[in-house]
Amino acid sequence: MEKDWSKIYYSTDFFKTEIVRQVLLDNGVEAVLIDKRGFPYNIGQVEIFVHHDNFSHATELILSNDL
């Protein structure tokens, strides 16, 4: 991961994490999803990273949409 990126959200539910990422993208915030779940049982986390400059805006979007 490039520097100046911060983890903004994580979950064990891939689909919920993808919804959060889509909300961020729809509002102009570049977001990267990293799936750290292990195969074949999908145990672990899915994480979303945003650039440090967008961190506060992304946080507001997540909180205002009750995600």
Per-run averaged pLDDT (10 residues), the chain, 67 residues: 88 95 97 91 93 96 90
pLDDT at 54: 96
pLDDT at 40: 85
- Residue 59 corresponds to which tokens in the numbers above? 């946080």
Question: How far, in Å, CA of 40 to CA of 18, rounded?
Answer: 20
Return the C-alpha torsion angle 54, 59, 65, 67, nearest 10: 120
> Could you tell me the residue range of the domain that residue 13 belongs to?
5-64
What pTM, to 2 d.p., does this model score?
0.89
Total structural domains within the chain: 1
Question: How far, in Å, CA of 15 to CA of 20, rounded?
Answer: 9
Would you say the C-alpha torsion 35, 24, 65, 58 has a positive or negative sign? positive
Residue type at 14? F
